[in-house]
Copies of this chain bind each other. A is one copy, B any other.
């Protein structure tokens, strides 16, 4: 490691590591490139802009694709285990980011699939690695993972409800009032229970409106459940991550991480 690093090693450091100044700059540049390329694909889909600036979009599109292709090849070249990289989550996203443009020769409209590039932003998250963001992100992820079983049970109950409600409304309101089939009625039940309420389908019969009122009040009540679950888990995790200092003398728990003395017996927490 102390001898002169090879070109491959140098590339690896810049592309895969975020701690060196080179790696840092590369990541910032990459983040910018991804954002601009996603913006290009998005704006290209606007008909008025697409017609007027067709050529510019083509050029930008190919510019980003070639850049990302070179990056992809360099990643494979410099990676110590290229096969593992190719089939990793990031490797697949990197591949899917460049394929749509090449495919657009053969399949019309396929270039819009290039928005998958937005997933590459997750890679850019490394820039924030050294900051407090990563820590907060971990707490959130941890809280969500801890709530997962409860939320699964809850969602199971909600889905059963939605199927029953949708079927009843299909029978009550019928096809001529927009509830054209049971799947469509289930879709309506989801739109209503989540309080989204598009209004593309809405009950018109008195009985349907009474049933819908029950569904809405129920939805209002059960929106409380996932919120309660996540709140409690977040509070638990925060409590655990704060109160991790135990007094070695009187074994009282719950000291703040920056405490120097035990608040119960006055024992010093210093090493000596």
Q: Which residues of A contact B (CB under 8 A)?
A: 38, 41-43, 45-47, 109, 112-113, 115-116, 118-119, 121-122, 132-133, 136-137, 139-140, 143-144, 149-155, 158, 160, 163-164, 167, 170-171, 175, 180-184, 186-187, 190-200, 202, 204, 206, 209-210, 212-213, 216-217, 219-221, 223-236, 238, 254-256, 258-266, 268
Determine whether the beta carbon of A153 is less than 8 Å from that of B137.
yes
| Copy total for this chain | 4
- Across the interface, name the chain B residue whose C-beta is closest to A110: B171
Determine whether the beta carbon of A232 is less than 8 Å from that of B229.
no
- Most chain B CB neighbours (cut-off 10 Å) among A41, A182, A224, A258: A224
Determine whether the beta carbon of B194 is less than 8 Å from that of A217.
yes
- Across the interface, name the chain B residue whose C-beta is closest to A257: B253
Cα distance A254–B164 when bound, in Å? 39
Determine whether the beta carbon of B235 is less than 8 Å from that of A235.
yes
Q: Is the interface of A mostly helix, strand, loop or mixed?
A: helix
Which residues on the B side are within 8 Å of A206 (C-beta)? Answer: 183
- Most chain B CB neighbours (cut-off 10 Å) among A115, A152, A191, A196: A196
Cα distance A184–B113 when bound, in Å? 16
Determine whether the beta carbon of A260 is less than 8 Å from that of B261.
no
Determine whether the beta carbon of A42 is less than 8 Å from that of B186.
yes
CB < 8 Å neighbour of A181 from B47, B160, B216: B47
Determine whether the beta carbon of B195 is less than 8 Å from that of A198.
no
A100 to chain B, nearest CB (A): 11
Cα distance A13–B225 when bound, in Å? 36
A255 to chain B, nearest CB (A): 6
Determine whether the beta carbon of A43 is less than 8 Å from that of B195.
no
Cα distance A165–B60 when bound, in Å? 23
Determine whether the beta carbon of B229 is less than 8 Å from that of A224.
yes
- Across the interface, name the chain B residue whose C-beta is closest to A245: B263
Determine whether the beta carbon of A190 is less than 8 Å from that of B213.
yes
Determine whether the beta carbon of B216 is less than 8 Å from that of A191.
yes
CB < 8 Å neighbour of A236 from B233, B238, B256, B258: B238
Cα distance A112–B154 when bound, in Å? 26
A229 to chain B, nearest CB (A): 7
Determine whether the beta carbon of B231 is less than 8 Å from that of A228.
yes
CB < 8 Å neighbour of A115 from B167, B193, B259: B167
Which residues on the B side are within 8 Å of A212 (C-beta)? Answer: 187, 191
